């Protein structure tokens, strides 16, 4: 698995931010100022033990040392379409303390504009400029590598979030939901024609994944010279509902890996692309940032591999038993039941006076 590392220029930041506006220019050109993107492979197999501290005194151990919180969304802010209890009040308290917050999700089904609507629907007052999705990261990666100038197209295995972000940078694409009901001709002599001008296949979470999409993707990757295989993330499971875990984008990416023998370039967490974007754009100090998430292999690895503080919450997919297991090699600085525990002392005082 290749994980995209980027160094984003100030010119890219200024143009990329305009993508938050539907009326923004679709051109992101800044070729002289944009550095080439290289790839590197991260390994999470370290000799760490599972001796992790539970957050009990946040007012002393966490809040004074953190200026910026980066929150995952699924399992941290909400589960499915339900906001986790106490989250709105906790975010308000953090803002009152002057903390900056960004919401970085590996879920590519929505664009940043789409996620803004979800925050609003849950009663969460979060500005669009604080939201970053892996669908955005995929588009940013293509922009940095000057994909548009190649004249090639993108085939999308995924949903509208990826398509909307590609539209904002003017990259032609097809596939996605439009191919949800298609079936290839698998009778005698049957073959599926494919577009030789596809220069990249982006694979994101797709609730309508089918054999047609898998076959089309593998034809492009295997038969089009230089066609790049890009994954928004490789999460094993996801929160479609608050009732159970559902197979995540790792299953879609795995299907394409299996028939191409290729490793994808991963642009979502734990790739450093988005943290490099934020630090370059806003001049943030990595030593004063805390990544908060519910997944060890994406959220916490995103923190540890990129020089951030990290905190795991048990409100999502990771159990305390898994975290503290001797088999676990990825350890956060702290863990808590949920981010509501950031104000555990204050909450205890309120309960005592009730």
Among 61, 67, 206, 285, which one carries the catalytic annotation? 67
CB neighbour class for 1 (10 Å; exposed up to 12, middle 13-18, buried from 19): middle
Give CA separation, 280 vs 20, 27, 67, 147, 261, in Å: 18, 20, 16, 22, 35
- Among 183, 65, 78, 182, residue whose Cα is nearest residue 123: 78
Angstrom distance (rounded) from CA 307 to CA 287? 7
Q: Which residues contact 135 (CB under 8 A, 6 or more apart)?
A: 108, 109, 110, 111, 112, 158, 161, 162, 164, 165, 204, 232
What does the CA dihedral 248, 250, 253, 259 come to, rounded to 10 degrees? -120
Q: Is 67 tagged catalytic? A: yes
Cis preceding-peptide flag for 270 (omega within 30 of 0): yes
Rounded-to-integer distance, Cα 283 and Cα 277, Å:
10
Q: Which residues are annotated as catalytic?
A: 67
């Amino acid at each position: 698995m290749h994980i995209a590392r980027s160094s984003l220029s100030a010119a890219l930041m200024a143009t990329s931010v305009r993508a938050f506006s539907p009326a923004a220019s679709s051109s992101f050109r800044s070729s002289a100022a944009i550095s080439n993107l290289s790839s590197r492979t991260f390994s999470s197999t370290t000799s760490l033990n599972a001796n992790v501290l539970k957050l009990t005194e946040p007012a002393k151990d966490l809040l004074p040392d953190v200026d910026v919180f980066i929150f995952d969304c699924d399992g941290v802010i909400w589960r499915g379409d339900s906001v986790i209890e106490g989250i709105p009040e906790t975010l308000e308290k953090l803002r009152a303390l002057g903390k900056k917050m960004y919401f970085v999700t590996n879920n590519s089904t929505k664009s940043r504009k789409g996620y803004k609507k979800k925050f609003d629907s849950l009663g969460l007052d979060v500005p669009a400029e604080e939201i970053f999705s892996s669908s955005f990261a995929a588009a940013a990666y293509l922009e940095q590598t000057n994909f548009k100038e190649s004249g090639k197209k993108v085939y999308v295995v995924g949903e509208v979030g990826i398509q909307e972000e590609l539209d904002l940078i003017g990259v032609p694409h097809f596939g996605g939901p439009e191919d949800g009901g298609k079936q290839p001709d698998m009778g005698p002599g049957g073959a599926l024609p494919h577009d030789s001008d596809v220069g990249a296949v982006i694979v994101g979470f797709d609730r309508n994944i089918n054999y047609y999409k898998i076959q089309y993707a593998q034809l492009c990757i295997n038969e089009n010279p230089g066609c790049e295989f890009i994954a928004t993330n490789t999460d094993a499971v996801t929160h479609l509902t608050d009732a159970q875990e559902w197979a995540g984008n790792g299953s879609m990416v795995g299907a394409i890996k299996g028939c191409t023998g290729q490793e994808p370039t991963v642009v979502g967490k734990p790739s450093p692309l988005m943290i490099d974007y934020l630090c370059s754009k806003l001049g943030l100090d990595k030593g004063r940032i805390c990544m908060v998430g519910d997944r060890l292999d994406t959220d916490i690895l995103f923190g540890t591999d990129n020089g951030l503080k990290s905190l795991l919450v048990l409100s999502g997919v990771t159990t305390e038993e898994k975290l503290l297991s001797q088999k676990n090699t990825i350890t956060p600085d702290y863990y808590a039941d949920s981010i509501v525990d950031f104000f555990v002392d204050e909450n205890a005082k309120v309960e005592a006076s009730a």
